[in-house]
Amino acid sequence: MKLTFMGTAGARFMVAKQLAASGGLYLEEGGTRLALDPGPGAVVQYAKRKVDLTRLGGIMLSHKHLDHSCDINVMIEGMTEGGFRSRGSVFCPSDALDEDPVILNYLRGFPQELVRLEPDCAYELGELSFHSTSRHVHGVETYGFRFRRLGAERDQLGWVTDSKFYEGIAEDHRAEVMLIHTVLTESRPDLPHLGLDDAERIIQEAKPRLAVISHFGMGVWRARPWEVAAAMSERVGSEVKAARDGMTLEL
Ligand SMILES: [Zn+2]
């Protein structure tokens, strides 16, 4: 399994200034290719890294916030050659389609299937199998995921998307490698996002082989994520990395 960071920026200020890219994640397992959370500029990042969108097997939204969904429509058009080739699957929470939708009506018939995500549910796409977590504590309908190669015994990637910390979040996303969206330097009661303190707690509880922090808010960015990750590594006793735009991980 191969994971490429099409962006590492999280939340509105980082995204508006494009201090880091905001194209989400690109996951490959054998011949199966899945685009995750195509935020603003995703189509540019995919083109820059020479990924042919017509070869995507699917596109998934963890939730409909703009920094995760902005390019979903152009990505669907890319995958389906403007709708001329019915192809691929789109996975998203129901509220991305219903009230205040982010997926335009006119292209909903372009993909082969449009799947409404539900909590604690198993899904398959080609050679990839994945499982949604319980609903995250976030402003809109949001899920995290665990991914594995179809037929594999263990989860290879746990993706902790946007959420406030909740009891069970570590267990929900436990996998060999865990990617944690860390928007804040320190968690705040008034904001539904994880802080570096939450990330550290999750890593300590779940004990992944490797933890990667990404989706940085301005505060984390200013604190230099690479230095923050190195210091966290020392404290938790397992490897913690900060993602960089364009970085690729073999899982
Ligand atoms: Zn969000």
Question: The domain that contains 196 carries what CATH number?
Answer: 3.60.15.10
CA of 214 to the centre of ligand 1 (A): 13
Long-range interactions of 93-97: CB distance < 8 A, separation 24+: 93/61, 93/62, 93/63, 93/64, 93/117, 93/140, 93/141, 93/142, 93/143, 94/141, 95/64, 95/140, 95/141, 96/61, 96/63, 96/64, 96/69, 96/72, 96/141
pLDDT tens for the chain, residues 1 to 251: 999 999 999 988 999 999 999 999 999 999 999 999 999 999 999 999 999 999 999 999 999 999 999 999 999 999 999 999 999 999 999 999 998 999 999 999 999 999 999 999 999 999 999 999 999 999 999 999 999 999 999 999 999 999 999 999 999 999 999 999 999 999 999 999 999 999 999 999 999 999 999 999 999 999 999 999 999 999 999 999 999 999 999 99
CA of 153 to the centre of ligand 1 (A): 31
CA of 85 to the centre of ligand 1 (A): 31
State the pLDDT at residue 33: 98
What residues does the ion ligand 1 have nearby, CB within 5 Å? 65, 162
Q: Which two tokens stand for residue 182?
A: 């860390």
Nearest in space to 43 (alpha carbons), one of 73, 10, 84, 4:
73
CA of 56 to the centre of ligand 1 (A): 24
CA of 38 to the centre of ligand 1 (A): 13
State the pLDDT at residue 11: 84
CA of 18 to the centre of ligand 1 (A): 17
- Quote the number of domains for the chain: 1
State the pLDDT at residue 182: 97
Range of the domain at 116: 2-250
